[in-house]
Amino acid sequence: MSKKESGASARAGEVVIAVNTPSRSYDVHVGAGVLERVGAIARDAAGGERACVITETNVGPLYADAVEASLEAAGYKTSVLTFPAGEQHKCLATLETLLEGLAEAGLTRDDVVVALGGGVTGDMGGLAAAMYLRGIQVVQVPTSLLAMVDSSVGGKVAVDLAHGKNLCGFFWQPSAVVADVRCLASIEPSLMRDSVGEVVKHAVLADPELLAELSREPFTFADCPEEKLVRIVAENVRIKRDVVDADERERGLRQTLNLGHTIGHGIEAASEFTLGHGSSVAAGLCCMARASLAKGWCKPSVYEAILAAVEAQGLPTDTRLPHDAVFDYMAHDKKRHGDSMNIVVPAELGAVEVRRVGLPELRELVELGCGTGKEA
């Protein structure tokens, strides 16, 4: 049975979740087989005459033809821009190439970019759309679990700089999001497992029942019914939607979505991005919980529940990377305010706190939380 949370049309087995931010309202379509409806959804949400699909070298060969055909069936004149896969290509040089490609394709302010791929593609396509002609519409088509449950919703688009992740970007909300859980069949098990880090984070933030479910068994694509995939992806979208609706530009409540990210981004960068984003967030979440326990900011039961869920998903609970390297990247994080930084503390399951700490205390948290766990 279909489920709707907005006025958008939905097919059987599809969930449509309405996002309403001050800058734009849009629908997130989650379902099995919704990729074939990208063109119709884009037509209803964005209009325009031309659509440019931005994708990368791993995803493009799998899905670009189907998406292009769907767009053409909806009346669009289409083109495809493909850039090299990998976080190392989420940079200004790639962005320049994409912007030149949009200009060469002749897109106008009435046209639309379709970002087809994982989180890197969503960032690159979204940022290109935000900058081209001072902003055109973008439809996000996430193909990884991480992008479906997190990065495709909320409008954060950015590229990395030499000093850290996502230091150059905008808030640019999509006109629609189309998340087809069947795309997860093409994701390697290791990448699927990595992506569950963000699912655990959302569960800690707002869904203790989901956290308990994640503690019982790994969330994998293999042998997972499509309806369960849709349910879990949709629940994660709702959690993020509720936060983004209340605080689009991260001035208050939206900071809570950074749970696990402050230390996690430091781990990810210090590993030279050899450790995936979701795995880094999972490790960062455990490290922050461990440090919070040592500081008396959370109860042992909270730390143990987080650790149990992360362990059950086969994700890292700690890091052996040098503390100096982790802290140095943390200190360059975009969330820094002068000589202090806001951190997110898992005070209770389903309730977190934002605390402002100075750099010396931030360093103390690294010492307390990193390199001390049993699974380091």
| pLDDT tens per residue across all 376 residues of the chain | 334 454 345 576 799 999 999 999 999 999 999 999 999 999 999 999 999 999 999 999 999 999 999 999 999 999 999 999 998 999 999 999 999 999 999 999 999 999 999 999 999 999 999 999 999 999 999 999 999 999 999 999 999 998 877 889 999 999 999 999 999 999 999 999 999 999 999 999 999 999 999 999 999 888 789 999 999 999 999 999 999 999 888 778 888 999 999 999 999 989 988 999 999 999 999 999 999 999 999 999 999 999 999 999 999 999 999 999 999 989 877 667 778 899 999 999 999 999 999 999 999 999 999 998 654 4
pLDDT of residue 373: 66
pLDDT for the residue numbered 12: 66
Q: What angle do CA 85, 88, 92 make, to 5 degrees?
A: 100
pLDDT at 13: 78
Percentages (nearest 5) of helix, strand, coil residues in the chain: 50, 20, 30
Where do the domains of the chain lie, and which CATH numbers do they carry? 3-187 (3.40.50.1970), 247-369 (1.20.1090.10)
What is the pLDDT at residue 163? 82
In one-letter notation, the amino acid at residue 49 is: E
Q: Are 115 and 124 in contact (CB under 8 A)?
A: yes
Token code pair at residue 155: 């409008």
Whole-Å CA distances, 336 to 203, 267, 343, 354: 26, 16, 10, 13
Cα 280–233–59 angle (5° rounding)?
70
- Confidence at residue 223, expressed as pLDDT on a 0 to 100 scale: 79
Task: Give the 3-state secondary structure of 91-105.
Answer: CHHHHHHHHHHHHHC
CA distance 103 to 177: 24
**Per-residue model confidence (pLDDT) at position 6:** 44
User: Which amino acid is it at 205?
Assistant: L
* CB neighbourhood size of 1 (10 A): 6
What pLDDT score does 2 carry? 38
∠ CA(272), CA(147), CA(258), 5° rounding? 65
Query: What pLDDT, on a 0 to 100 scale, did the predictor assign at position 130?
Result: 98
* pLDDT at residue 166 in the model: 87
- Give the per-residue SS3 of 153-216: CCCEEEEEECCEEEEEEEECCCCEEEEEHHHHHHCCHHHHHHHHHHHHHHHHHHCHHHHHHHHH
Instruction: Give the side-chain half-sphere CA count within 13 A for 306.
Output: 40
The kind and range of the H/E element at 77 are: strand 77-83
246 burial (CB, 10 Å; 0-12 / 13-18 / 19+) is: exposed
H or E element in which residue 126 lies: helix 119-131
Q: Please state, in angstroms and rounded to a whole number, the distance separating the CA atoms of residues 263 and 261.
A: 6
What's residue 376's pLDDT?
40
CA dist 16 and 26 (Å) reads 10
How much is the pTM? Answer: 0.90
Amino acid letter for position 306: I
